[in-house]
């Protein structure tokens, strides 16, 4: 019978398994492509894997044959001599083996074991090396991942920290602004309180002054009735003495009469002492220590009036003005100036009478210790010579209170120290030390604070030894240099020089020089 299967491995004869396989009602019906065959019914059947193995063996046999045939044609050399016992085809028995064969077998076994151990060692080393590389790569990758994670975490922390810092900075700025605003408010409130306090003190001082004036008026009215006749009598007696002295030429009586008539009102804010070797130097001390000798209207009035009076006294040759060791004068009295209206200041020519101190014919020396600020610096510049203590400080700080110097701070200072330094002091309110003032030409000499007044009196004594008339002419000529051009100043100087030849003191001075003796001045 012909086989229904095209496969050559299927049996040619009919069998029960085949009928059962192809039965319609059989449970073994499958597709031809995937059907199974049983080796029990088919001797020629073999699985595909077994067929492959068989073909491989056949190929190997073919290869061996070819190799053997190739080897037969080549000359062969025996490397190891195999014992005869092992070459025989007889049955192998260990007792029949000779010692040489045993030794050879042992060597072969040891050699193969050694090679096997080397191969295993090499294999093990390779595996260890590969394992190391794998572990290193894994560790490296793990470390890189951890580092990357840590880096990302650090970045996140940095961003968060930066945001927090910015927030804190903004909060601090806001709080600082709030504190600054509160500080400004407190400052404004404090200024208001100070203004109110100043007004209260001014009103109180005014009331006390009015009360004192009323009391003084009452006392004067009481004394007037008793002393009127006595005062009139004394006045006529002194006037008579003055007339007699003028006819007789007695200068001592004349000077004392003038001093008495011009110093009836005793000053309260200045002290006047006659000092020097001949008591012909008037030492005027500003005496308002609680206010650092601030130049109020009363102080300046007393100062200018008494200096004008003493300028007419022939027994006074030189003036020396000084303050305390802490302050020469700390400026004008600001409390007195706060409530001054424009109409009163402008219409009344406020501070104009201060310049009366520059109208004196006799020289004036300023002995400056401590602060000379604002009006104090201007008063020092009104003097003819300035001696300063080592602790002295000069300045024009009016810019800090919203005004400018008003008694010569912009004019005399500029002519003395130059535009640049004067501009700096006026625009910033900066102070300069005594050393800087001397370098700038504002100060003549600098001394220790405790010897300053004595040095000023020594200078005044030296000036007082000269002719008072010639000294006043020299002072006028030097001061004109601030007002005239060079040609006009030279012309004025020449005329004053010519006028000295009309005086007796010029003749006495030249004669005494020729005769090598001290001159005797007559002030004529």
**pLDDT of 57 higher than 70:** no
pLDDT in tens, 242-252: 445 444 444 45
Taking the CB of residue 319, how many other CB atoms lie within 10 A of it? 24
User: How far apart are alpha carbons 399 and 43 in whole angstroms?
Assistant: 131
Strand partners of residue 327:
371
Per the annotation, the verdict on 378 as an active-site residue is yes
According to DSSP, residue 352 is labeled G
DSSP of 363-390: -EEEEE-SEEETHHHHHHHHSSEEEEET
**pLDDT of 96 higher than 50:** yes
pLDDT in tens, 190-205: 888 888 888 888 888 8
Distance of CA 488 to the CA centre of its chain: 52
Angle at 137 (CA atoms; ends 135, 138), nearest 5 degrees:
60
pLDDT in tens, 110-157: 999 999 999 999 999 999 999 889 999 999 899 999 999 999 999 999
Tokens matching residue 175: 């709080």
The pLDDT value given to residue 214: 73
**Given the residues 375, 376, 409, 509, the one annotated as active site:** 375
**Nearest CA among 395, 374, 493 for reference residue 440:** 395
Question: Which residues have CB under 8 Å from 363's CB, separation 6+?
Answer: 318, 319, 384, 385, 460, 463, 471, 475
Write down the residue that tokens 């009469």 correspond to. Answer: 257
What backbone phi and psi angles, to 5 degrees, belong to 371? Answer: -80, 135
User: How far apart are alpha carbons 331 and 50 in whole angstroms?
Assistant: 128
User: How far apart are alpha carbons 297 and 407 in whole angstroms?
Assistant: 13
**pLDDT of 450 higher than 60:** yes
Tokens matching residue 58: 């056949």
According to DSSP, residue 359 is labeled -
Per the annotation, the verdict on 483 as an active-site residue is no
Is 393 within 8 Å of 373 (Cβ atoms)? yes
Q: What is the average pLDDT across 336-356? A: 73
Provide the 3-class DSSP secondary structure of residue 273. strand
**pLDDT of 228 higher than 50:** no
Is 393 within 8 Å of 350 (Cβ atoms)? no
Strand partners of residue 282:
274, 319
User: How far apart are alpha carbons 180 and 188 in whole angstroms?
Assistant: 12
User: How far apart are alpha carbons 485 and 491 in whole angstroms?
Assistant: 10
Q: Are strands 393-395 and 431-433 parallel, antiparallel or unpaired?
A: antiparallel
The pLDDT value given to residue 165: 92
User: How far apart are alpha carbons 276 and 282 in whole angstroms?
Assistant: 8
Distance of CA 72 to the CA centre of its chain: 107
Per the annotation, the verdict on 375 as an active-site residue is yes
**Given the residues 398, 407, 408, 434, the one annotated as active site:** 398
Percent of the chain with pLDDT strictly greater than 90: 20
User: How far apart are alpha carbons 316 and 383 in whole angstroms?
Assistant: 16
Per the annotation, the verdict on 398 as an active-site residue is yes
pLDDT in tens, 60-95: 444 444 444 434 444 444 444 555 555 555 555 666
Element (H, E) at 367: strand 364-368
**Nearest CA among 19, 6, 4, 15 for reference residue 42:** 15
User: How far apart are alpha carbons 274 and 445 in whole angstroms?
Assistant: 23
**Given the residues 282, 330, 332, 437, the one annotated as active site:** 332
**Nearest CA among 478, 474, 306, 455 for reference residue 386:** 455
- Grade residue 483 by pLDDT with cuts at 50, 70 and 90: confident
Burial of 144 (0-12, 13-18, 19+ CB in 10 A): exposed
Terminal-residue alpha carbon distance, the chain: 184
- Grade residue 504 by pLDDT with cuts at 50, 70 and 90: confident
Dihedral sign for Cα atoms in the order 388, 391, 394, 398? negative
What backbone phi and psi angles, to 5 degrees, belong to 12? Answer: -75, -30
Is 98 within 8 Å of 106 (Cβ atoms)? no
Greater pLDDT, 86 or 458: 458
Is 323 within 8 Å of 453 (Cβ atoms)? no
According to DSSP, residue 20 is labeled H
The Cα-based distances of 497 to 29, 209, 384, 500 in angstroms read 160, 51, 20, 5
- Grade residue 11 by pLDDT with cuts at 50, 70 and 90: low
What average pLDDT is seen over the chain?
77
**Nearest CA among 378, 392, 369, 203 for reference residue 303:** 378
User: How far apart are alpha carbons 18 and 32 in whole angstroms?
Assistant: 12
pLDDT in tens, 366-376: 999 999 998 88
Greater pLDDT, 210 or 220: 210
Is 378 within 8 Å of 409 (Cβ atoms)? yes
């Amino acid at each position: 019978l012909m086989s229904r299967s095209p496969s050559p491995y299927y049996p040619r004869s009919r069998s029960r398994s085949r009928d059962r396989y192809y039965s319609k009602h059989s449970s073994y019906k499958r597709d031809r492509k995937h059907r199974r065959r049983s080796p029990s019914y088919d001797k020629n059947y073999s699985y595909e894997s077994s067929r492959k193995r068989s073909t491989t063996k056949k190929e190997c046999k073919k290869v061996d044959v070819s190799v053997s045939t190739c080897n037969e044609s080549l000359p062969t050399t025996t490397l190891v001599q195999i014992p005869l016992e092992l070459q025989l085809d007889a049955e192998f028995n260990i007792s029949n083996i000779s010692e040489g064969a045993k030794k050879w077998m042992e060597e072969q076994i040891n050699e193969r074991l050694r090679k096997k151990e080397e191969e295993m060692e090499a294999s093990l080393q390779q595996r260890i090396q590969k394992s190391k590389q794998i572990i290193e790569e894994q560790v490296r990758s793990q470390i890189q991942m951890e580092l990357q994670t840590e880096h990302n975490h650090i970045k996140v922390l940095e961003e968060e920290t930066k945001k927090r810092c910015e927030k804190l900075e903004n909060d601090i700025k806001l709080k600082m602004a709030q504190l600054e605003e509160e500080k400004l408010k407190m400052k404004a409130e404090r200024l208001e309180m100070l203004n109110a306090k100043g007004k209260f003190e001014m009103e109180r001082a005014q009331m006390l002054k009015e009360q004192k004036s009323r009391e003084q008026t009452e006392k004067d009215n009481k004394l007037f009735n008793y002393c009127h006749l006595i005062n009139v009598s004394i006045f006529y007696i002194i006037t008579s003495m003055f007339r007699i002295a003028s006819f007789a030429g007695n200068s001592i009586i004349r000077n004392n009469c003038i001093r008495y008539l011009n110093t009836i009102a005793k000053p309260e804010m200045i002290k006047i002492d006659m000092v020097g070797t001949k008591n012909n130097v008037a030492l005027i001390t500003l005496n308002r220590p609680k206010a650092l000798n601030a130049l109020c209207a009363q102080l300046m009035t007393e100062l200018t009036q008494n200096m004008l009076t003493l300028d007419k006294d022939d027994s006074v040759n030189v003036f020396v003005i000084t303050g305390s060791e802490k302050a020469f004068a700390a400026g004008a009295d600001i409390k007195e100036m706060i409530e001054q209206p424009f109409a009163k200041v402008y219409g009344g020519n406020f501070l104009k009478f201060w310049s009366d101190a520059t109208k004196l014919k006799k020289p004036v020396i300023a002995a400056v210790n401590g602060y000379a600020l604002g009006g104090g610096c201007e008063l020092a510049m009104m003097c003819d010579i300035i001696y300063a203590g080592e602790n002295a400080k000069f300045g024009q700080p009016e810019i800090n209170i919203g005004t400018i110097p008003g008694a010569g701070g912009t004019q005399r200072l500029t002519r003395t120290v130059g535009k640049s330094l004067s501009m700096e002091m006026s625009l910033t309110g900066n102070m300069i030390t005594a050393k800087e003032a001397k370098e700038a030409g504002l100060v003549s000499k600098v001394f220790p604070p405790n010897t300053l007044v004595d040095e000023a009196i020594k200078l005044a004594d030296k000036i007082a030894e000269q002719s008072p008339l010639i000294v006043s002419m020299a002072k006028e000529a030097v001061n004109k240099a601030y007002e005239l051009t060079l040609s006009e100043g030279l012309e004025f100087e020449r005329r004053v020089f010519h006028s000295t030849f009309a005086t007796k003191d010029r003749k006495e001075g030249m004669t005494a020089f020729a005769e090598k003796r001290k001159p005797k001045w007559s002030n004529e």
